[in-house]
Amino acid sequence: MSARRWRRLLIMLVVAAVTAGVNAARSTAAPARPNPRPKVERTSKARRDSTPTHCTITKLADGDSFTCVGGFQVRMLLIDAPEGAQRPWGDQARDHLRGLLPKDSVVRLEFDSTTTDRFGRYLAYVWAGDVMLSERMAEDGYVVVLSYENVRYLDRITRAVERAQKEKRGLWGAWGFRCLPRDFRAKRCGA
């Protein structure tokens, strides 16, 4: 056998040995840490059976999310309110939701195709009696439309936001959406 072939054979053996050693080390290494972010879940029958259908409000985070008795958090679907740091707009949106949804209010939660987000919050249409609060916040001019996969009531919310914008209700009359919440979160708004 030529010297060239011996070198190739030797290189292949070294590569095989290194690969075998790496694989053996992986199998004895400590198990990987679980992902700290919950996985986004699609609604299944089993999930729907364990998903809460009602919530008693304990705390509002902002104009589109809140915490319920039991500690679980809910993000209202199809709307995006200014962030708390978008002063004074975030405070005004939260205060408006507080007027519609005071502490200890009981609401009904309706889920769409995706039940939780990457932060573990439930994604729901929130109803106080026969009033969908996402639509009400849109009609009153304190939110913009935000949609991904959950779109059951998208047309209703879009029409409500368009009416509020046209009639300059809520934050639309006060330049409150000069920087949209999603742009603010992405740091795309000037100082």
β partners of residue 107? 55
Q: Identify which has the larger pLDDT, 68 or 43.
A: 68
The model's pTM = 0.73
Tell me the pLDDT of the chain averaged across its residues. 82
Domain ranges of the chain: 45-185
- Give the active site residue among 94, 121, 135, 139: 121
β partners of residue 114? 42
- Distance separating alpha carbons of residues 138 and 169, to the nearest angstrom: 9
Active site residue 87: no
Q: Is 41 a residue whose pLDDT tops 50?
A: no
- Give the active site residue among 26, 42, 75, 108: 75
Domain 45-185, CATH class in plain words: mainly beta
Classify residue 149 as exposed, middle or buried by CB count within 10 Å of its CB (0-12, 13-18, 19+): exposed
- Give the active site residue among 47, 48, 83, 188: 83
Active site residue 42: no
pLDDT score recorded for residue 11: 61
Q: Please write the tens of the pLDDT for every residue from 53-104.
A: 999 999 999 999 999 999 999 999 999 999 999 999 999 999 999 999 999 9
Give exposure, 44-79, as e/b (b: 16+ Cβ within 10 Å): eeeeeeebeeebebeebbbbbbbbbeeeebbbbbbb
Active site residue 83: yes
Report strand pairing: 73-76 vs 79-80.
Answer: unpaired
Q: Please write the tens of the pLDDT for every residue from 101-115.
A: 999 999 999 999 999
